[in-house]
């Protein structure tokens, strides 16, 4: 959950978000280093121009340096980025597949590969919230999944464009009518994780939250049995 005046990313709750945080810190470090080097070079060049009259128009070593430096910076940025994209896109032998369908303005979840469970998830009104429950984020039926196991989330929409997103898990996938998009979904711990539709989908766009609960595998199997 984010908190007031938060400037950093949400705490990673799964391997995908851990990759996002690593990439963010990596690129931020490179940006800081580049800013420092450019500042030093600017001060040095300005000072030398005031005290010396050495021409730099034909300095081959300087030209080679400012040509090679951007190339190295791009390589150092691209390699971890490509790795993160690959890990975020590939689904490796998922334990479970869940289909999320966006509607105006709620989500429907189907567990068709294990059982024939299907239910709608609506936002809870303020008057129905329990003490301590987050306003505009809690729902009447949470999406349930096993913690520590890879799950495949398949996302589509029934009417207009939606977007299924949970920031603490590093997940965001468009829900497009007539198209199925999939992403791997896994958590490193149990708990409840919240998100919201991230595509403007109409008047009640801000009132179709996502609440996903990760529970131990044995509890998940019991839940499947009871729901079925």
What is the number of structural domains in the chain?
2
219 and 139 fall within a common domain:
yes
Range of the domain at 107: 96-225
Find the CATH number of the domain harbouring 170.
2.60.40.420
37 and 137 fall within a common domain:
no
- Supply the pLDDT for residue 55: 56
Taking the model in full, what pTM does it have?
0.78
- Supply the pLDDT for residue 131: 85
The β-bridge relationship of strands 209-215 and 143-146 is parallel
- Supply the pLDDT for residue 49: 58
Domain presence at residue 8: no
- Supply the pLDDT for residue 110: 94
157 and 190 fall within a common domain:
yes
- Supply the pLDDT for residue 88: 72
User: Mean pLDDT per segment of 10 residues, for the chain of length 228 residues?
Assistant: 71 83 87 88 73 59 78 85 76 86 94 85 90 89 92 93 92 92 90 92 92 93 82
- Supply the pLDDT for residue 54: 56
- Sequence-separated (6 or more) residues with CB below 8 Å from residue 218: none
């Amino acid at each position: 959950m984010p908190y007031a005046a938060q400037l950093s990313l949400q705490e990673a709750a799964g391997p995908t978000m851990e990759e996002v945080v690593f990439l963010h810190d990596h690129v931020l470090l490179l940006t800081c280093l580049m800013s420092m080097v450019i500042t030093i070079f600017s001060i040095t060049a300005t000072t030398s121009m005031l005290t010396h009259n050495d021409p730099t128009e034909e300095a081959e070593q300087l030209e080679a340096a400012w040509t090679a430096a951007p190339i190295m910076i791009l390589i150092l940025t691209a390699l971890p980025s490509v790795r993160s994209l690959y890990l975020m896109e590939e689904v490796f032998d998922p334990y479970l597949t869940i289909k999320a369908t966006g509607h105006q303005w709620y989500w429907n979840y189907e567990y068709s590969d294990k059982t024939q469970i299907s239910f709608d998830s609506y936002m809870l009104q303020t008057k129905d919230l329990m003490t301590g429950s987050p306003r505009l984020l809690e729902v009447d039926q949470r999406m349930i999944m096993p913690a520590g196991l890879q799950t495949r989330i398949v996302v589509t929409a029934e009417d207009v464009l939606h977007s299924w997103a949970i920031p603490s898990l590093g997940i965001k996938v468009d829900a497009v009518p007539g198209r199925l998009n999939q992403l791997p979904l896994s958590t490193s711990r149990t708990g409840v994780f919240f998100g919201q539709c991230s595509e403007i989908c109409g008047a009640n766009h801000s009132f179709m939250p996502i609440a996903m609960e990760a529970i131990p595998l044995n509890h998940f199997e019991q839940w499947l049995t009871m729901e079925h």
